[in-house]
Amino acid sequence: MKRLNEALDRMTPPSVEWREKAYERLRQQARPAGSLGVLEEVGARLAGIARTLDVHLTRKVIVTCAGDHGVCAEGVSLFPAEVTPQMVYNFVKGGASINVLARHAGAEVKVADLGVNWDLEPDLPIFHKKIRKGTDNLARGPAMTRDAAVQSIEAGIEIVGELLADGPVDLLGTGDMGIGNTTPSTAIIAAFSGLPVDQLTGRGTGVDDEGLRRKVAVIEKGLAINQPDPRDALDVLAKVGGFEIGGLAGLVIGAAANGIPVVCDGFIATAGALVACELAPVARDYLFTSHYSVEVGHRYMLTRLDRKPLLDLQFRLGEGTGAAAAMELIDMATRILADIKTFEEVAIQDAQA
């Protein structure tokens, strides 16, 4: 756990002083106070993180973490697990939804193999961080060992370090790929919240009513068999999580430890963020959430994180697509803060009298 502990030790809160300076400038701008709503809060939070009123998000990167899940053997997804490696190749070729949206947002897309059940070529231009070829079936025992859970988180932290070796990262986005991964994500929020599984479970790739009942039963069985401890985020991840979810948690921790704001995608990416913030509450101060997922359990995750997403586009895709869409608004928030003139700067007198 050396790398994880080092990252946790390096993590410090954003600057309250710079955030307040940002709010003061926003209040003095030549427009009605608060008239740009949530984007004002985003800009002020970014100022606190970057410790400047003129934040520039020059390099934006979205990391899509991929992994397979043994629980697919229980029939919880419409799609076969073979789709996961096929989508990894599509990401690399630039033909997937995330590639298109990221290009529009001016962001790089990087793919990380945390646990794809396939022998991906060693020279494939991705982050090769495979823990194992897929997790075990959480309905029949722990999804992974505790050591593997730590390894998956540390892989995400390593990825942040490797990105920084190529130059500064100003905004990191997180996304996922893994057939069946709404099942472990639902199990994670059920374990932390203690809420009934049927209240938290969505249809994932679009299972019918019978499939939904089966999915609920599988998650309930996994929780009953494994008894994940909600006070121990590593235990929750190990008992009912996924390798790519651990990698996503590591990305959030690695970003926060390096003072980088991070915007997470939908349900699965938020599951990773939730694990990260349970381990390191300070990480939440660096976290932005992109959109409301159609998955019903997502809103309970967001409530626990006390984060409101920027968008509600009825997305249910993953990959980092919501993060890419939100990046444009986050970028916009930096310009609102820095570029809109104050009443004093444009010589408007007594405007707020």
User: Average pLDDT, stretch 4-19?
Assistant: 98
Range with the lowest mean pLDDT among 51-60, 100-109, 215-224, 340-349?
340-349
User: Catalytic site residues?
Assistant: 319
Q: Kindly report, residue by residue over 252-283, the tens digit of the pLDDT.
A: 999 999 999 999 999 999 999 999 999 999 99
The verdict on residue 22 lying in a domain is no
CA distance 10 to 285: 14
- What would the two tokens of residue 239 be? 């008992």
Q: Kindly report, residue by residue over 201-229, the tens digit of the pLDDT.
A: 999 878 899 989 999 999 999 999 999 99
What is the number of domains present in the chain?
1
The verdict on residue 299 lying in a domain is yes
The verdict on residue 328 lying in a domain is no
The verdict on residue 290 lying in a domain is yes
Percent of the chain with pLDDT over 90: 96
One-letter amino acid at 85 equals P
CATH number, domain of 299, equals 3.40.50.10210
pLDDT value, residue 352: 54
The verdict on residue 338 lying in a domain is no
DSSP element (H, E) containing 110: strand 107-115
The verdict on residue 174 lying in a domain is yes
The verdict on residue 189 lying in a domain is yes
Q: Kindly report, residue by residue over 101-151, the tens digit of the pLDDT.
A: 999 999 999 999 999 999 999 999 999 999 999 999 999 999 999 999 999
Residue 107 phi/psi, 5-degree rounding, is -115, 145
Residue with tokens 């997403």: 309
User: Average pLDDT, stretch 151-170?
Assistant: 98
pTM of the model: 0.97
Per the structure, the complete domain to which residue 100 belongs is given by 60-318
Judged against a pLDDT cut of 70, whether residue 351 lies above it is answered with no
CA distance 87 to 95: 9
Q: How far is CA 233 from the centre of its chain?
A: 16
Q: Kindly report, residue by residue over 306-336, the tens digit of the pLDDT.
A: 999 999 999 999 999 999 999 999 999 999 9
Cα angle, residue 310 at apex, residues 305 and 315 outer, rounded to 5°: 95
The verdict on residue 335 lying in a domain is no
User: Average pLDDT, stretch 169-193?
Assistant: 98
Nearest residue to 160 (alpha-carbon basis) of 242, 62, 233: 62
Average pLDDT, the chain: 96
- What would the two tokens of residue 348 be? 């408007």
